[in-house]
Amino acid sequence: MATAKVMRTAAFTGCDSPQGDIRMRARTRPAAPARQTDHGVFEQPRRRRYVGQLKTSTSTVAGRSPWMNDRVTVLRGFLADLHGLHLPPDLARIQVAGHIELLVSVLRLNRQTARQFVTDDVLREMAVDIATAVASE
């Protein structure tokens, strides 16, 4: 039995099935237009909130990962407590995300696995690195 990829290739090139036992069926009606054409030029599609998703609050931003929010809070806490620095949440988020990207590229991990390596000790070292960079400028 041929795989779906082989069957699609055979149908695209106009060839018969590799085994000759399966016939490809052509579309009987035209494909529906793309959904983007239903909206006007300047009209944006409406965003839907999921059932468990809250509206924005001061502590968290809607659509953000609770894990990432926790890591950002820990990093900002280390910077404030140990070094007296106050880093905006967006910049702290960029630092944590950059560390995850580094783990993904160097260790060839997927993102979910790389998150396990962003511990409190790692965040403490990141806070020391950030404080050292600020002090050297």
Digitized pLDDT (tens) for each residue of the chain, 137 residues in all: 456 555 555 555 555 555 555 555 555 666 665 555 555 555 555 555 555 544 444 444 556 799 999 999 999 999 999 999 999 999 999 999 999 999 999 999 999 999 999 999 999 999 999 999 999 98
Cα atoms in the 13 Å half-sphere on the side-chain side of 114: 17
Q: What pLDDT is stored for residue 137 in this prediction?
A: 84
**Structural domain contains residue 108:** yes
Q: Residue 86 and residue 123: Cα distance in Å, rounded?
A: 15
Name 24's Cβ contacts closer than 8 Å, sequence gap at least 6. 7, 10, 11, 17
Task: Say what angle helices 89-107 and 120-136 make with each other, to 10 degrees.
Answer: 110
Domain count, the chain: 1
Q: For residues 82 and 131, is the Cβ–Cβ distance under 8 A?
A: yes
Q: Residue 70 and residue 65: Cα distance in Å, rounded?
A: 9
Q: What pLDDT is stored for residue 67 in this prediction?
A: 95
**Structural domain contains residue 129:** yes
**Structural domain contains residue 87:** yes
**Structural domain contains residue 58:** no
Cα atoms in the 13 Å half-sphere on the side-chain side of 11: 13
Buried b (16+ CB within 10 A) or exposed e, 62-76: eeeeeebeebbebbb
**Structural domain contains residue 21:** no
**Structural domain contains residue 102:** yes
**Structural domain contains residue 127:** yes
Domain that holds residue 130: 66-136
Local structure of residue 22 (DSSP, 8 states): -
**Structural domain contains residue 12:** no
Q: What pLDDT is stored for residue 57 in this prediction?
A: 46
